[in-house]
Amino acid sequence: EENMTVTEDFSRVENAYQMEAEVCIIFSDFGKMQNVCNLLIEKLGTSVTISPPHFYHTPEAVDALRRQVCVAAVGNTRRKAQEVCRLFGQSVGKPLLIREEETKEWGGHIDTHLSTSLDSLTLQERIQNATAYASCRVFAVFEIKGKENRRNKLL
Query: What residues make up the domain containing 92?
Result: 59-145
Q: Which pLDDT score, from 0 to 100, does residue 152 have?
A: 47
In a domain, 151, yes or no: no
Number of domains in the chain: 2
Q: Which pLDDT score, from 0 to 100, does residue 108 have?
A: 62
CA–CA dist 151, 92 (Å, integer): 20
Query: Do 87 and 139 sit in the same domain of this protein?
Result: yes
Query: Do 95 and 30 sit in the same domain of this protein?
Result: no
Query: Do 73 and 116 sit in the same domain of this protein?
Result: yes
- Could you state, in chain order, the average pLDDT of each consecutive group of 10 residues for the chain (155 residues)? 86 90 88 91 89 86 94 97 94 96 81 56 83 95 78 48
Query: Do 86 and 127 sit in the same domain of this protein?
Result: yes
Query: Do 83 and 24 sit in the same domain of this protein?
Result: no
**Global pTM?**
0.67
Query: Do 37 and 66 sit in the same domain of this protein?
Result: no
CA–CA dist 80, 72 (Å, integer): 12
Q: Which pLDDT score, from 0 to 100, does residue 100 have?
A: 96
Query: Do 63 and 136 sit in the same domain of this protein?
Result: yes
In a domain, 32, yes or no: yes
Q: Which pLDDT score, from 0 to 100, does residue 56 have?
A: 85
DSSP 67-124: HHHHHHHHHHHHHHHHHHHHHTT-EEEEEEEEEEEEEEEEESS--TT-SS-GGGS-HH
